[in-house]
Structure formats: structure tokens, C-alpha cells
Structure 1
Amino acid sequence: MENTSYIALSRQTALWRELDMVSNNLANMNTTGYQSEQPMFSEYLIQTRDSDFRLPEKLAFTQDQGSYRDLRPGALEHTGNPLDLAIEGDAYFEVQDQVGPMYTRAGRFTLNPDGQVVTAEGLPLMTEGGTPLILAPNETEISIGSDGTVSTENGQVGKIRLATFDDPNKMERVGGGLLDPGDMQPQAATEFRVQQGMIEKSNVNPIVEMTHMIQVQRAYEASNNLIETEYDRQGKAYGVLAGTN
């Protein structure tokens, strides 16, 4: 008797998580390098007690499989800042966190008092030599090539490390636009271009996400109405059965 309610509740649980994802996407639509998160659902079939009949009945529940990042690149925006960098292609900047290397496509960098090129959170941008990228105080003519080579009026300073991964969707968001690769080993990126003076905008389409949010809210209300209707139906059925005793 409760099967209808259980199915509706499984759908509501999945919709609630989906709504969280949509809300987070909208909150980050202006975050540099942000890649939207999308839900993954599947249909989970179980057999009922009527499975031995000629036409066995199966119940279909909604199973929340998790989520994935939309890896499509965001639009590039020109800023003119020589330390703003965007990546064209499948690659990530490597920065050094307290717990180890992290990766990001948010290329809005600045200089800290020590001359290190750092993220907004103060994490240093790493070079292929495994050291932070450092600029001297008197160096002002900063040029960054499409391959990540950094030069100034005093010559070549270093080359930015850009990495790629076998399955980027296995990387875990850790905040601040950073991605933790976990046990995956980075590989040297080859198919990319670094664009100086530009940033990669979020790939979130606000109109699509707002439409998605409305659809999720309507689906949630429909599931809730189904649960209330089923509750009333069961109440009336129990009342009829009680009256016949």
C-alpha cells in the first residue's frame, strides 16, 4: 500500500539534491573558471510479491547516482591584466596548497609581497620546475606565451605547469575554484593555449539554470501532491475497512 509514497519520496529526495546543485550553479555564475554541476539519476527496478504472476509487476524508484561537472569551457573575457590567464583546451593550472598540489581553471592571479604569482586565496602558481612562479620587484614587462612560458624585460622567468587528467570528473571541489585530484596522477598537458590578459568565465547559463530550477520546483510540488493524495486515499480505505468490521 505504501509503494506509491516510497516511489514519490525517492523522487523528492533526488529533486532536493538537484535543486541544491542548480542553486549552487546560479550562485557561481560569475565565478571565474567555474564549471557547472549536473545531477546523475537512474531508474532502480525491484520485484514485487506479484513477480510469479504471468505479468510480473516491477516498481521503479529514482536512484541518485551523484553528479558530474560540465567540462565545456566558459567564454573568455578580456581584462588587460597581464597576470590574468585563461586556458583554451583540456588543462588546469597547478597551485600549491598546504595539503599538496591543487588544480584550477580560475586564472585571476596577483602578486604577493614576496613576488610570488598567487591566486585570490594566496596559493602560489607552480612552474614546471616544481617551484612557485616569482617575479622580481623591478620587472614590469610581463609576457606569457601560449605555451605558458613567462618572460620579462630581464629574460625568461619560468614556464607555468599545466596538467591534465584521465577523468577530470573524479576531481573533487574543495572551494575557492580548486579541484583536488585525489589519487589521480597529473599528466603534462599538451593540447592547450594560454591566453594572457583574459579570464575564463563560468560556463553557467543563467537562463537555462533558472528554467531548470522552475522545472525542479514544479516536479517537487507534483511529487508532494501525489504523496498527499495517496495518504488521503489510504485513510479513506482504512476507514471503509474499519466500518465493515
Structure 2
Amino acid sequence: MENTTYITLSRQTALWRKMDVVANNIANMNTPGYKGEHMLFAEYLARSRSADSAFPDKLSYTTDFGTYRDASLGPMDNTGNPLDVAINGDGYFEVETDVGRYYTRNGRFMMDNDGMIVTTQGHPVLTTEGTPLFIAPNEKTISIARDGAVSTETGPVGRLRVVDFEDDQAMRRVQAGLYDAQDQEPQDVETVTLEQGTLEGANVQPVVEMTRLIEVHRAYETIQKLIETEGERQSRVMQTLSGVSQS
């Protein structure tokens, strides 16, 4: 009799995880470069020999297989800020953090007090030489070419490094739009196309995600009612089998 409860609980657990994923997409719909995530479900078949049947039956459970990222390009938003940079195509910017090098598509950069170009969290943005970019205090005009070359009115400064990976789905999202490469070696993107004064928006469609959230919530409530009904049914059966009348 517990089979029904176990199956519904497996589905409810998967829906809870899906609700977290959809809610995270909605929370990041204004985060530059954010890539929407989606759930992967799988059917798990388990053999069970019922007391009423001499033949083994297969029970179908819902398994939370994992998540995958939608790698499609987000909308391009022209900001006019010379330190806003969007990658129009594949690739990630390389940044230095306290725990190692991470990667991001969020090109909202700024200059710190030392003139170093950093992310909004203060992480240095790296060049193809593996070094940070510095702008001198007397340099006022910053130009970023489509190939990533950075220059000012006094001359070249460096070239932003844009890399890609053999399996970007294996990259782990850590925080603030940063990804851990998970021991994968970064490969320089051969043909880089950057857009200065532009930010890539999140590729999340708010209306679609809100609809998904409502659907998940309704499905969760339906399964909860089923679990409660099944619990009441099992209670009545046990009372009947034990000869105890229902008060």
C-alpha cells in the first residue's frame, strides 16, 4: 500500500527542486549574461512483487536527473557605458578571484581606485597574457575593439581574454554570475566579437517562467492532496483489518 505514497513523494520532491530552479531564473532575469536553467527528469523503474499477483510489476518513480543551462544568446542592451562589454557569440570572460580563476558572461565592468578594470564584485578581469588591465589616471578615453583589444588615447593597454570549454554544461555556477570550469582547460575563442557599451541581458523570459512557476505550484498542491487522500485511505484500511471501528 505504500507504493502509491512513495511514487507521489518522488514526484513531489522533483517538483520542489523544479520550483527552486524556476524561482532562481526569475530572481536573475535582470542579471547581465545570466543563462536560464531547466530541469532534467528521468523515469526510474523498480520491480515490486505484489501480494495480490504472482508476477512482478514495475513501479515508475520520478527522478531528479539534474539541470542544464540554456546557452542561447540573451538580448543586447545598449548602455553607452564604455566599460560595459557584451560577448556576441560563444565564450566567457576570465576573472581572477581569491580562490582561483572563474569565468563569466557578465560584462558589466568598472575601474577600482587603482585604475584596474574589475567586475562589480571587485574581481580583476584578465587579458590574453593572464594579467589584469590598468588604466592610467590621466587616460580618459577607453576603447574596446570587437576582437577584445583595449586602448586609450595614449595607446594599447591589452586584450580581453575570451575563452570557451569543451563542455560548458559541466561548468558549475558558483555566485554572482561566475562559473567554475571544473578542471576543464580554457581554450581561447578564435573569432571574438565583443560589443562595447552593450550588455547581454538574461535569456530568461519572465512571462514564461512565471507560467512555469504557477504550473509547478498547482501540480505540487495536487500531489499533496493525493498524498493526504492516500494516507486517509490507508488509515481506514488498517482500521478495518484490525477490527477497530472508525469513531
Q: TM-score range by the shorter chain?
A: over 0.9
Q: Deviations over 1:143-168 (max 9, x none)?
A: 11111011111111111111000111
Could you say which residue in structure 1 is the equivalent of 2:9?
9
- Give the TM-score, by structure 1 length: 0.95
Contact 1:90–1:191 at 8 Å: present in 2 too?
A: no
> What code does the residue aligned with 2:18 have?
E
Moved over 4 A (4+): 53-56
> What code does the residue aligned with 1:198 have?
T
Task: Find the aligned partners of 2:222 and 2:58 in 1 and give their Cα distance.
Answer: 22
> What code does the residue aligned with 2:220 have?
Y
Task: Find the aligned partners of 1:190 and 1:23 in 2 and give their Cα distance.
Answer: 36
**Deviation at 1:56?**
4.2
Within 5 Å, give how 1:100-119 maps onto structure 2. Answer: 100-119=100-119
Within 5 Å, give how 1:43-58 maps onto structure 2. Answer: 43-50=43-50, 56-58=56-58
* SS of structure 2 residue aligned to 1:215: helix
Could you say which residue in structure 1 is the equivalent of 2:150?
150
Query: Identity percentage over the alignment?
Result: 53
Could you say which residue in structure 2 is the equivalent of 1:195?
195
Q: Deviations over 1:1-20 (max 9, x none)?
A: 10000000011111111111
**Deviation at 1:190?**
2.0
Within 5 Å, give how 1:1-245 maps onto structure 2. Answer: 1-50=1-50, 56-243=56-243
Cα RMSD over matched residues?
Answer: 1.7
- Give the TM-score, by structure 2 length: 0.94
Q: Deviations over 1:141-194 (max 9, x none)?
A: 211111101111111111111100011111111111111112111001124310
**Deviation at 1:75?**
0.3
Task: Find the aligned partners of 2:235 and 2:174 in 1 and give their Cα distance.
Answer: 47
Q: Deviations over 1:194-245 (max 9, x none)?
A: 000000111111100000001101111111111111111111212221229x
Unaligned runs of at least 5 residues, structure 1: none
* SS of structure 1 residue aligned to 2:5: helix
Contact 2:148–2:192 at 8 Å: present in 1 too?
A: no
Unaligned runs of at least 5 residues, structure 2: none
Contact 1:44–1:61 at 8 Å: present in 2 too?
A: yes
Task: Find the aligned partners of 1:167 and 1:211 in 2 and give their Cα distance.
Answer: 30
Task: Find the aligned partners of 1:238 and 1:122 in 2 and give their Cα distance.
Answer: 63
Paired residues, what number? 244
